[in-house]
Amino acid sequence: MPEVVTHDVKDLDLADKGKLKIELIDKRMKVLASIRERFEKERPLEGIRLSACLHVTTETANLARTLKAGGADVVLCASNPLSTQDDVAAALVKHYGISTFAIKGEDNDTYYRHITAAVDHHPQVTMDDGADVIGVLHAERQDQIPEILGGTEETTTGVIRLNSMAADGVLKFPVVAVNEANTKHLFDNRYGTGQSTIDGIIRATNMLLAGLDVVVAGYGWCGRGVAMRAAGMGARVTVIEVDPLRALEAVMDGYQVTTMARAAGYGDLFVTATGDKHVIRSEHMEAMKDGAIICNTGHFNVEIDIPALQKMSTSHRTVRDFMEEYTLPEGRVLFLLAEGRLVNLAAAEGHPAQVMDMSFANQALAAEFIVTHHRELVNRVYSVPKDIDEQIAELKLQTMGIEIDKLTPEQEKYLASWNEGT
Ligand code: ADE
């Protein structure tokens, strides 16, 4: 009997196009491919029901293939209504037999219906990007909690939520914070967000960045990446940051650092990357120049107070794909990109495969870790074990053909001693 693959995707006729893209970028995800090869032989996830709520992209497709190769019974749903690549979703269903629930541009009801489909799978392992599946399980499906061995979380925002749940004593199963692995946030958050955010902005606006005043809100790993790449394109970069240490780092990295109230008056392009809400508010938008562009690259669409922008404006219209023009009463216009959602995934294709290779290697190995060690784990947020993180860094270097030195026995002894040297 042919395999029945439950799904809700835009158009299965897009599947061949999606398959070509998935195969093309698989060659840039060699660490994940090597894990897939081992998983095919060892089947460490045999029979495990796994629900993944991730951005449905070519890179995620290769993760889903890897989990399936390990024996997992995978259901995938979108972790954002605008980030799905419809051809990839179709290919996952038609060519890889993976149940997928994701349509680019889906409305809120469809978004939550798709998450419900993933929860209805009765996962033993959850895999989130933004803690949505974990949120629904804790809020509405406590009866399913005993079936769950553990979960993984991809993003900073999700990890913040899970840490709050753990601190309040309400987290009901162990979760591995993939975002905390060095091989994740140092590369994906910094170089991935840096490049893909600029890519999304350029695709949406077709603007020259050289000579613009670009205001980056948030100087975590994502904000650092955006600031670095915007400066590399010739923009004058201002950083807004509430943490004194990070603000100081931004100053010494060579950026202008000030308040949003001050920057609002001179910025040409505003990018939020804070993980917090209402970083750009009505008082800031009141002060912005005619033609200023606002966008967000943080996980949720709350960083810009969009309801306030809608209230302030007399009309709005779409002037390009993912670019809306809001007209204010005095005739000034402001542009909002990608409805304030992640501009890198909505207007471009998210982080390139070379960094997602490491992020998703962490995801695959974290899932294996949970299945192997769940009996020893308690209900808290775990980091990815250090040996896994280091193994991924080593493998990544190998796949890039880069050799590094090893410590000599004399150097090892020196580092372990406290009485040699002065
Ligand atoms: N998050 C950021 N970029 C991504 C990508 N390309 N695939 C999946 N999740 C992502």
The CATH number of the domain holding residue 96 is: 3.40.50.1480
- Is the CB–ligand 1 distance for residue 59 below 6 Å? yes
- Is the CB–ligand 1 distance for residue 84 below 6 Å? no
- Is the CB–ligand 1 distance for residue 356 below 6 Å? yes
- Structural domain includes residue 418: no
Shared domain check, 257 and 115: no
Cα dist from 389 to 186, 220, 307, 378, 393, whole Å = 12, 20, 41, 21, 6
- Is the CB–ligand 1 distance for residue 57 below 6 Å? yes
- Is the CB–ligand 1 distance for residue 275 below 6 Å? no
Shared domain check, 37 and 24: yes
For residue 420, the model assigns a pLDDT of 76
Shared domain check, 96 and 155: yes
- Structural domain includes residue 21: yes
Shared domain check, 148 and 196: no
Domain span at 152: 12-184+351-399
- Residue 48 alpha carbon to ligand 1 centre in Å: 24
For a mutational test of ligand 1's pocket, the pick from 25, 54, 59, i.e. the residue with the most ligand atoms closer than 8 A to its C-beta, is: 59
- Is the CB–ligand 1 distance for residue 104 below 6 Å? no
Q: Which regions of the chain are under pLDDT 50?
A: none
Classify the phi-psi angles of 206: left when phi > 0, otherwise alpha if psi is within -120 to 50, otherwise beta: left
Cα dist from 34 to 18, 110, 269, 333, whole Å = 22, 35, 41, 51
For residue 421, the model assigns a pLDDT of 65
- Is the CB–ligand 1 distance for residue 357 below 6 Å? no
Shared domain check, 336 and 357: no
Question: 374: exposed, middle or buried (C-beta count within 10 Å: 0-12, 13-18, 19+)?
Answer: middle
For residue 2, the model assigns a pLDDT of 54
- Residue 262 alpha carbon to ligand 1 centre in Å: 33
For a mutational test of ligand 1's pocket, the pick from 65, 129, 297, 351, i.e. the residue with the most ligand atoms closer than 8 A to its C-beta, is: 351
Overall domain count for the chain = 2
Shared domain check, 125 and 78: yes
- Is the CB–ligand 1 distance for residue 348 below 6 Å? no
- Residue 59 alpha carbon to ligand 1 centre in Å: 7
For residue 243, the model assigns a pLDDT of 98
- Is the CB–ligand 1 distance for residue 76 below 6 Å? no
- Is the CB–ligand 1 distance for residue 155 below 6 Å? no
Q: What pLDDT, in 10s, does the model give residues 259-291?
A: 999 999 999 999 999 999 999 999 999 999 999
Q: What pLDDT, in 10s, does the model give residues 295-310?
A: 999 999 999 999 999 9
For residue 304, the model assigns a pLDDT of 98
Shared domain check, 168 and 20: yes
